[in-house]
Structure 1
Amino acid sequence: MKYQILLAAALLLSACNRDKTTEAGTEGLNAAASADADATASPVVDNPNVVSENETPNPNAPVMKFTEAEFDFGDIQPNSKVRHTFTFVNAGKSPLLIEDATASCGCTTPSWTKEPVAPGAQGKMEVQFDSRGKQGIISKQVAVRANTQPSITTILIKGNVLDAAAKTANPL
């Protein structure tokens, strides 16, 4: 008789635990459903890269024009750092100011002209790539955020990091 009571209590407790899991899961689904309902109620999304139909583009905005949007390093030695300087011109009618530049990987580091670039003047964006721990074909993007329309311009570096083991096996 005691074993039957213990068995019944164990079943009851395990059933209670399942109910709580279901409730938590249902609550999560309900929260997601209400978030979806809220999103459909107010479909306005703040995306600085998209000009809405109501906004007209600013004809006096700065315009960032890179002389090259991508650079190929070719073969890159293992455990080395390579750099390339991208140049751009402000083809707009007001000063261009770079707010930030972020790379798609921690192995890539951008640095840029910090002062405003006057209309018709040149600016620079230096990108450094560290091949330590990398091997094979690489392709890294740098997103440059500035006071332009659209606000983000993307540049690209690529190359082929040589195999460190092949270098040590064939020293020249």
Structure 2
Amino acid sequence: MIKQLTLGLFLAAALTACNQANTQTQTADSTAATAGAAAPIVNAADAAVMKFETETHDFGKIKKGEKVTYEFKYVNTGKSPLIIKDAYATCGCTTPEFDKEPIAPGKSSIIKVTFDSAGKSGLQDKIVTVIGNTVPAENRVHLTGEVLTDEKPAGTAKKK
């Protein structure tokens, strides 16, 4: 009798555990389905792709204190709307501006980059990182050039 009672309790516990596991699985599946509806996952083949006309622009030689601006043109060559989440530069002297609205597949837009040469001298290579729902998620463009100083090199003073 004790064996039958123990066996009965064991079976009841096993059936209860199986039922709870099935309920948890159904809840997890429905939660995943709900989350998927709110934030659809796009596979790499269907993702947005940011293709720049040129990834580097040389602004040449400028005087210290001048500001230069360049517009990096790009096209969304992917299959989904391109959404830029952020764009930032390697230092505060370089400011990127970008569209906040989605860029449809096949459409183009620009990243406007302004470099302020105040306090800078010599060769410059400013990297702007653009983060979006693209493949790859990070894209980079470079603004390069040389900032000249007002000072004359030693030994170039006029002789009287």
**Quick one: distance in 2 between partners of 1:67 and 1:126?**
13
**Quick one: distance in 2 between partners of 1:98 and 1:166?**
44
Shift of 1:76: 1.2
Shift of 1:150: 1.4
1:131 maps onto 2:110 in alignment = no
Match of 2:145?
A: 159
What secondary structure is seen at the aligned counterpart in 1 of 2:54? coil
1:141 maps onto 2:147 in alignment = no
Deviations 1:9-42 (A, max 9, x none): xxxxxxxxxxxxxxxxxxxxxxxxxxxxxxxxxx
Q: State the one-letter code of the partner of 1:152.
A: E
Match of 1:89?
A: 75
Deviations 1:102-138 (A, max 9, x none): 1001100000111100000001100000000101100
- 1:6-155 to structure 2, matched below 5 A, reads 58-155=44-141
Runs of 4+ aligned structure 1 residues displaced above 2 Å come to: none
TM-score (norm 1): 0.63
What is the aligned-residue RMSD (CA, Å)? 1.9
- Unaligned 5+ segments in structure 1 are 1-55
Q: State the one-letter code of the partner of 1:59.
A: A
What secondary structure is seen at the aligned counterpart in 2 of 1:59? helix
- Aligned length in residues: 114
TM-score (norm 2): 0.68
Shift of 1:78: 1.1
Q: State the one-letter code of the partner of 1:136.
A: G
Sequence identity percentage: 45
What secondary structure is seen at the aligned counterpart in 2 of 1:133? coil
What secondary structure is seen at the aligned counterpart in 1 of 2:151? helix
What secondary structure is seen at the aligned counterpart in 1 of 2:104? coil
> Who wins on radius of gyration, i.e. which is larger?
2
Match of 1:11?
A: none
8 Å CA contact 2:74–2:108 kept in 1: the answer is yes
**Quick one: distance in 2 between partners of 1:140 and 1:63?**
23
- Unaligned 5+ segments in structure 2 are 1-41
8 Å CA contact 2:50–2:77 kept in 1: the answer is yes
